[in-house]
Amino acid sequence: MIRNSLRVAPALLLTLLIFLLVPVAGFAELTETEVSESLICYACPGEPLNIDRCGGGNQMRAAISRLIKEGKSKPEILDFFVAEFGDSILTTVPKKGFNLVAYTGPLIGLLVGIPLAFFIIRRWGSAGRQQATDNASTERTATLDEKTRRQIEKELSELDEED
């Protein structure tokens, strides 16, 4: 008996955990506000429908209420407005076609830019170290031979005599 209850307890805990993690919003009734947050008023471009209070916004909210009463889901209602006004009626850009650039562009930029910046910075650093090494080695080997040293002293003394 105790053995059977030990086998059932994990299953009950797992079931309880699944029910706790399932979003409750999927079971709630759709409201006009939820839909209007995703739309822009056609009469006042750039103004979200949930904020707008013009006549065009009132017509759109009435249409949303009618579609909700007909039992339409949020994606179906949004598709209705996109079919009527185009993608520009949505507050967010749809994740399809060329619009994917808006979502993937920054990520691709980071994935390319960070390694490129790392490579360039390392290259600059190694070039600086190489130049410092080259300068140090030329200073050590830059001793003048005796003939050149005498020529320089002669020319300097001639310049001093001219003054």
* Residue 32 sits in the same domain as residue 74: yes
Identify the domain boundary among 62, 92, 122.
92
In a domain, 63, yes or no: yes
Higher pLDDT, 134 or 116: 116
Q: What is the pLDDT of residue 65?
A: 92
Q: What is the pLDDT of residue 143?
A: 64
In a domain, 10, yes or no: no
Residue 50 half-sphere exposure toward CB, CA atoms < 13 A: 11
* Residue 61 sits in the same domain as residue 87: yes
In a domain, 40, yes or no: yes
CATH code for the domain in which residue 80 is found = 1.10.8.640
* Residue 43 sits in the same domain as residue 72: yes
Instruction: Please state, rounded to an integer, the average pLDDT across all residues of the chain.
Output: 80
Q: What is the pLDDT of residue 88?
A: 83
Q: What is the pLDDT of residue 115?
A: 94
Q: How many helices (H) and strands (E) does the chain have?
A: 6, 0
Identify the domain boundary among 66, 92, 118.
92
40 three-class SS: strand
Which of 154, 152, 136 is closest to 144 using CA atoms? 152
What are the tens digits of pLDDT across the range 1-20? Answer: 555 555 666 666 667 667 66
DSSP class per residue in 93-104? --SSGGGHHHHH
Average pLDDT over residues 109-138: 80
* Distance in angstroms (rounded) separating the CA atoms of residues 73 and 59: 19
In a domain, 135, yes or no: yes
In a domain, 1, yes or no: no
Q: How many domains does the chain have?
A: 2
Q: What is the pLDDT of residue 24?
A: 52
* Residue 125 sits in the same domain as residue 147: yes
* Residue 154 sits in the same domain as residue 114: yes
* Residue 32 sits in the same domain as residue 57: yes
Containing structural domain, residue 124: 100-162
Average pLDDT over residues 89-108: 81
In a domain, 68, yes or no: yes
Q: What is the pLDDT of residue 84?
A: 92
Q: In this prediction, what percent of the chain has a pLDDT beyond 90?
A: 22
